[in-house]
Structure 1
Amino acid sequence: MCADLWSFALSTYARPGVEAACLRLQEQGADVCLLLCGAWLEQRGVALEPQRVQALQQLARPWQAHVIEPLRRVRVQWRTMAQQDEPLAALRERVKTLELDAERQLLMRLEALAQTWPTDASCHSPWLEGLATEDAANLDHDALQQLRVVVTGT
């Protein structure tokens, strides 16, 4: 088990099927950083409490909306043009790096918030659903379940 959220997110995202599941969930409006945080909290045995969910969401929303999403929009917007324009392709890669750095900063902030929450290996709280509640009706539940299976094995 990875102690820090960033290492957990990287190792989880590298597992077969996780990237595709995360991208499907992201396209449907889910905050993948929050979901990865939820998977990390599940794995650590942190009890899900409504005020914890709210605190994570309140921390993540502005960072997603004002930092990560604008970078992502530029990167996506440049995709087609960058295929024909090498200097633009290089700039797009730099934007992609900034986007990843912004996601890392968010994960570090989420970890700092949750770091003091007690852990209990026997606790099995459904953090993925808890953090996806606002978007739950629109989300691909198979992708959510795939993420859970990779993380928890269940």
Structure 2
Amino acid sequence: MYTDLWNHALALYARAGVEEACLDVQALGGDVCLLLCGTWLQARGVAATGQRAQALRDIAEPWQREVVAPLRNLRQQWRTAAHNDAQLAALREQVKGLELQAEKALLERLQACSQQWPADSHEPTDDWLARLAPDQAQDHRALHQLRVAAAALQDAEDGA
């Protein structure tokens, strides 16, 4: 199993269908970094509680709002114009890199927040994705797809 959240997120995001599922949940108001953190916590056997989920949200929401979202909005705003302007396309790629760095920083913050929570605890492990996904995504196929991919990644890691 990946010991850190960043490497878990990279491995999961690279699996077939995960990027699309994450973007679908994001379009419904979900936070991809929170969801990836949830799959990591689930894989580590960390018990999901309302208090822990809220602690993660308290870190993620302001960072998403003040750092990640403005970068994403700027990158998306430049999408069409960058097709015909090489300089703007280069700047857009730099913004995309900053957005990725901001998401990595958020994942590091989420990991730091959850570092003291016991892994492989004997507490019942509730569904982290159910606690961290927005209500409108709870029954969406994308959330199911993310669960399946995370379980398959865990099975692959356990078999290695």
Report the TM-score when normalising by structure 2.
Answer: 0.90
Aligned equivalents of 1:117, 1:138: Cα separation in 2: 26
1:54-106: CA deviation from partner (whole Å, max 9, x where unpaired): 10000100000000000000000000000010000000000000000000000
Letter in 1 for 2:116: T
Aligned residue in 2 for 1:98: 98
Aligned equivalents of 2:139, 2:74: Cα separation in 1: 25
Letter in 2 for 1:20: E
Aligned residue in 1 for 2:127: 126
Aligned residue in 1 for 2:114: 114
Change (3 A) 1:6 1:24: same
Aligned equivalents of 2:131, 2:42: Cα separation in 1: 11
Aligned length: 152
Aligned residue in 1 for 2:145: 146
Letter in 2 for 1:23: L
2:13 pairs with 1:13: yes
Aligned residue in 1 for 2:158: none
Change (3 A) 1:130 1:105: same
Cα displacement (A) at 1:152: 1.5
Matches within 5 A, 1:42-57: 42-57=42-57
Change (3 A) 1:84 1:29: same
Point out where structure 1 has 5 or more consecutive residues left out of the alignment.
none
Letter in 2 for 1:131: L
Aligned residue in 2 for 1:76: 76
RMSD: 1.5
Aligned equivalents of 1:90, 1:12: Cα separation in 2: 28
Change (3 A) 1:12 1:84: same
Letter in 1 for 2:104: R
Instruction: Work out whether residues 12 and 151 of structure 1, in 8 Å CA contact, stay in contact via their aligned partners in 2.
Output: yes
Aligned partner of residue 136 in structure 2, secondary structure: helix
Report the TM-score when normalising by structure 1.
Answer: 0.94
Cα displacement (A) at 1:50: 1.0
Aligned residue in 2 for 1:87: 87
| 4+ long deviations beyond 6 Å | none
Letter in 2 for 1:49: T
| Percent of residue pairs identical | 56
Instruction: Work out whether residues 47 and 121 of structure 2, in 8 Å CA contact, stay in contact via their aligned partners in 1.
Output: no
Aligned equivalents of 1:24, 1:95: Cα separation in 2: 22
Letter in 1 for 2:26: Q
